[in-house]
């Protein structure tokens, strides 16, 4: 079994591949449903996921003019919303494109990204809302597939929302805004050199994945990652479930961020 001809590489699939090549194979090639619980306690993990989804939906409604009066029985959601109204970046641009998906081909491979918000004006701004309880470092964010793919795709495919004009890399900026740290956004600029480096990196990774044989998807050597993976029992990596508390403190943080905020990017 191989990837379909219409497969679109997303931040989730590419990040899964970097975390564990075997996980990528099980999820995207063999398309196995996750057989095990990822994070305990289950109820709290599901609640956090719902809160994150609700927060993104509230911002989307706000940006398209459906109002800002929100009441919630969940204290975290109320706090995040108050933080957004008080501290969200101002002067977003003349044209706003919330919940926008861009796709493009590079090197014969299809890539896609779903953006929380693209704001076009003098500069081309990418906003991403994060609700994780721990603020990632700048270096960690710069190295993430999300940062590299999102900025690259806006430069590559932004003509569809920019009146047929290609956004120039040096006009692109990605802004991570943290609901729990509203005064500490992370702003990551872009340029031509980074664009070319990202293009080569993404095409090489897609080519590597596409041309692998069935036995070329080894398990990760970082068994800490296995505790937050639903496939661990299939890989004889134990049955112990990672705790939500430990996931929030884990340096990689991928378990929290992917499970709670990128879940809608899984396309089969």
116 located within any domain: yes
Q: Please report, for residues 25, 52, 137, 266, the alpha-carbon distance to residue 21 in angstroms, rounded to integers and kept in the order given.
A: 6, 27, 25, 16
Q: Where are the beta strands (DSSP E) in 90-171?
A: 95-106, 109-120, 124-130
- Burial of 154 per CB tally in 10 Å (0-12, 13-18, 19+): buried
End-to-end CA distance of the chain: 14
Which residues are CB-contacts of 236 (< 8 A; sequence separation ≥ 6)? none
Residue with the bigger pLDDT between 92 and 190: it is 190
Count the Cβ atoms, other than its own, within 10 Å of residue 208.
12
List the structure tokens of 116: 């929380």
Count the Cβ atoms, other than its own, within 10 Å of residue 85.
12
The answer to whether 260 and 56 are in contact (CB under 8 A) is no
Domain count, the chain: 1
Average pLDDT, the chain: 83
Using the predicted structure, report yes or no on whether residue 44 has a pLDDT greater than 80. Answer: no
| Cα–Cα dist 138/157, whole Å | 26
Please name which of 163, 159, 162, 171 lies closest in space to residue 195, comparing C-alpha atoms.
171
72 located within any domain: yes
Using the predicted structure, report yes or no on whether residue 259 has a pLDDT greater than 70. Answer: no
Please name which of 82, 178, 94 lies closest in space to residue 128, comparing C-alpha atoms.
178
Using the predicted structure, report yes or no on whether residue 98 has a pLDDT greater than 60. Answer: yes
List the structure tokens of 25: 């194979």
CATH number at residue 168: 3.90.320
In the chain, where does DSSP find H-type helix? 11-19, 21-24, 42-63, 75-87, 138-143, 145-157, 192-210, 223-226, 244-249, 254-261
For range 2-27, the mean pLDDT: 90
SS3 for 217? coil
pLDDT for 113 equals: 97
20 located within any domain: yes
Mean pLDDT highest for which of 50-59, 160-169, 218-227?
160-169
| Cα–Cα dist 18/159, whole Å | 30
pLDDT for 240 equals: 59
110 located within any domain: yes
List the structure tokens of 61: 């409604």
| Cα–Cα dist 173/188, whole Å | 6
pLDDT for 260 equals: 38
The answer to whether 64 and 98 are in contact (CB under 8 A) is yes
Residue with the bigger pLDDT between 22 and 5: it is 22
- DSSP at 25: I
1 located within any domain: no
Share above pLDDT 70 across residues of the chain, in percent, rounded to a whole number: 79
260 located within any domain: yes
What is the extent of the structural domain holding 192? 8-265
pLDDT for 59 equals: 92
pLDDT digits (tens, 9 = 90+) for 150-193: 999 999 999 999 999 999 999 999 999 999 999 999 999 999 99
């Amino acid at each position: 079994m191989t990837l379909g001809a219409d497969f679109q590489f997303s931040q989730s699939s590419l990040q899964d591949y970097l975390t564990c090549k075997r996980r990528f194979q099980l999820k995207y090639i063999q398309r196995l449903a996750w057989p095990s619980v990822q994070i305990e306690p289950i109820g709290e993990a599901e609640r956090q996921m719902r809160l994150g989804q609700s927060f993104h939906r509230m911002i989307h409604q706000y940006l398209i003019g459906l109002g800002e009066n929100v009441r919630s029985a969940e204290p975290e959601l109320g706090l995040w919303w108050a933080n957004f109204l008080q501290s969200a970046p101002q002067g977003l641009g003349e044209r706003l494109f919330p919940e926008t998906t861009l796709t493009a081909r590079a090197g014969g491979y299809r890539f896609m990204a779903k953006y929380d918000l693209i704001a076009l004006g003098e500069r081309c701004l990418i906003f991403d809302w994060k609700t994780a309880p721990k603020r990632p470092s700048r270096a960690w964010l710069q190295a993430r597939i999300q940062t590299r793919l999102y900025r690259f795709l806006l430069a590559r495919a932004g003509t569809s929302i920019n009146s047929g004009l290609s956004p120039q890399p040096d006009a692109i900026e990605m802004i991570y805004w943290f609901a729990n740290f509203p005064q500490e956004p992370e702003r990551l600029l872009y340029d031509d050199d980074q664009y070319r480096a990202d293009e080569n990196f993404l095409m090489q990774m897609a080519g590597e994945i596409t041309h692998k044989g069935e036995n070329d998807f080894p398990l990760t050597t970082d068994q800490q990652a296995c505790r937050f993976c639903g496939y661990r029992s299939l890989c004889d990596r134990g049955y112990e479930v990672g705790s939500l508390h430990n996931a929030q403190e884990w340096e990689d943080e991928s378990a929290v961020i992917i499970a709670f905020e990128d879940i809608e990017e899984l396309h089969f």
